[in-house]
Amino acid sequence: MTDKNRVYIFDTTMRDGEQSPGASMSLEEKIQISRVFDELGVDIIEAGFPIASPGDFEAVSEVSKILKNSIPAGLSRHSKKDIDRCHEALRHAPRFRIHTFISTSPLHMKHKLNKSPEEVYESIKEHVTYARKFTDDVEWSCEDGTRTDMDYMCKTVELAIKCGAKTVNIPDTVGYTVPSEFTKIIQTLMNKVPNIDKAILSTHCHNDLGLAVANSLAGVQAGARQIECTINGIGERAGNAALEEVVMAMKTRNDLMPYSTGINTTLLSKASKIVSNATGFPVQFNKAIVGKNAFAHEAGIHQDGMLKNRNTYEIMTPESVGVKQTSLVMGKHSGRHAFKDKLTSLGYVDVTDDVIENAFGKFKVLADKKKHVYDEDILALVDDSLITDNKINALSLKSLKVFAGTGEPQRAEMTLDVYGDIKQATETGDGPVDAIFKCIKKLYPHDVNLQLYQVHAVTEGTDAQATVSVRIEENGKTTVGQAADTDTLVASANAYINALNKMIIKRSKTAPESMVVEKNTKTNKMRGI
């Protein structure tokens, strides 16, 4: 890379970003953000609009005192009072930038400024020259630049540079332009402004049409060497070009955009979180680079490809932006390969294929019911499969209906497979769980002590999966059954049945051989343990 391919990052999160309705940040939050941006490698930090309010003045002033690497900047209109206030706020810094602007589009000049093009021209001469008295780092912006007459823009840019502006910014103030048009604007300035080599051209693109990042990159490809942007793309109306997106686009597609920045990309995720926390604006899940799902894969085909070679479905590594690792999100589109890999990561290394297949089947059913299948969900499913992974399978639940509410006794209707025989029963009880357990006892008579019945949700939300634990005791033998389901009552029935199945296994292992043989007779199928 050569210096001509160095692109400077001008962050305006604390100025333009704060103009998002509801995004106001406290002084403490701005100081915290500025420290992170300084570490991130942002070249210029626009900390505020000093004359706008005492709070903005204080923020610019305090930020200017603490920056070690980044250059602090303040915004000003074409007003000597604005420029004076800007200088007063920035004067503590060893180096600083005054950023002054005026509208140049016919629409703005007529209806906003009530000035003629000649008056605006003279104002540029007066105020850029005045700002230059305080610093050699002056930036001039032609507000609504992308709706400005091209010949007039060339004339004003030439004047601003002549008066001392080292950076000239071309704002797409209302997000109106498209990449091909913006490319032409920058190319025209590069070719027609005689002194353009004396300044750096900058982009400042808004996202009203969703093109802020694309337009910014088009501007760089055409010759601009500064991008004005914000973390998470926050800003006026639909926001600004997202810093993390323009930086990672250039880094990832360096073959087409051979430009470099000073950004330490491994801190992008950190910066995103801090800005999100300060503004109260959550980052959308599908947000590029820093969104929760940016490195998450659910589709089975994608997960299988990722497990074989990350490059199949990732064009950048999560580590490169400060995310710990790729997330293989378990959902209804996940396949066996990803499921088995997830089990391995959760510590289930020596699980049999039968158990995996059993758990995977239950996982698919659960994934159709839940938006998010958490690790805890999968653990509960595997544990459930391990509990029922035996050769006896004396009892299994086929169907369950529970009638509960006020006024009438709670009733359960159950169909149970008892050693291959399908049996049905209806029982009432002191609550729905009691009715369920009575049904089981009626269909499979037994005499055990219920020592523990415990329910807890293993995941979040109203669709949380419940795990039920049941401990039973008989003649000094104790077994624990567990089951998980989004329906707590179904989980309760299965947990009790699992405990009974384990008790049958325990008894078969300690009983005389004659009893083990006898157990296979139909008579003994109905005998209690």
290 occurs within a structural domain: no
Task: Work out the mean pLDDT of the chain and round it to a whole number.
Answer: 86
261 and 226 in a single domain? The answer is yes
401 and 472 in a single domain? The answer is yes
432 occurs within a structural domain: yes
> Is the pLDDT score of 247 beyond 60?
yes
Rounded to two decimals, the pTM is 0.68
Place of tokens 């470099």: 260
261 and 300 in a single domain? The answer is no
Q: 223, 246, 279 — which closes off a domain? A: 279
| Tally of domains within the chain | 3
pLDDT at residue 124 in the model? 98
Which residues are registered as beta bridge partners of 450? Answer: 472
Q: What is the pLDDT of residues 49-104, one digit of tens each?
A: 999 999 999 999 999 999 999 999 999 999 999 999 999 999 999 999 999 999 99
Q: 369, 387, 405 — which closes off a domain? A: 387
The pair phi, psi for residue 171, each rounded to 5°, is -80, 135
Mean pLDDT of 365-370: 72
161 and 44 in a single domain? The answer is yes
Percentage of the chain surpassing pLDDT 90?
60
288 occurs within a structural domain: no
Dist. CA 277–CA 26, nearest whole Å: 12
183 occurs within a structural domain: yes
Dist. CA 122–CA 10, nearest whole Å: 27
pLDDT at residue 204 in the model? 98
CA distances 487 to 273, 447, 460, 468, Å, are: 36, 27, 14, 10
Contacts of 491 (CB under 8 A, 6+ apart): 455, 466, 467, 468, 483, 484, 485
pLDDT at residue 226 in the model? 98
Percentage of the chain surpassing pLDDT 70?
81
311 and 427 in a single domain? The answer is no
85 and 185 in a single domain? The answer is yes
More confident residue, 64 or 512: 64
Q: What is the CATH number of the domain that holds 206?
A: 3.20.20.70
Mean pLDDT of 164-168: 98
Dist. CA 81–CA 51, nearest whole Å: 8
pLDDT at residue 518 in the model? 38
pLDDT band at 3 (very low <50, low <70, confident <90, very high): confident
| Structural domain boundaries enclosing 367 | 296-387
195 and 97 in a single domain? The answer is yes
Mean pLDDT of 471-480: 84
Q: What is the pLDDT of residues 174-228, one digit of tens each?
A: 999 999 999 999 999 999 999 999 999 999 999 999 999 999 999 999 999 999 9
User: Per the structure block, which two tokens stand in for 67?
Assistant: 């920056």
pLDDT at residue 199 in the model? 98
For residue 240, give the nearest of 286, 271, 210, 205 by alpha carbon: 205
Dist. CA 414–CA 148, nearest whole Å: 77
286 occurs within a structural domain: no
436 and 371 in a single domain? The answer is no
> Is the pLDDT score of 313 beyond 60?
no
More confident residue, 271 or 469: 271
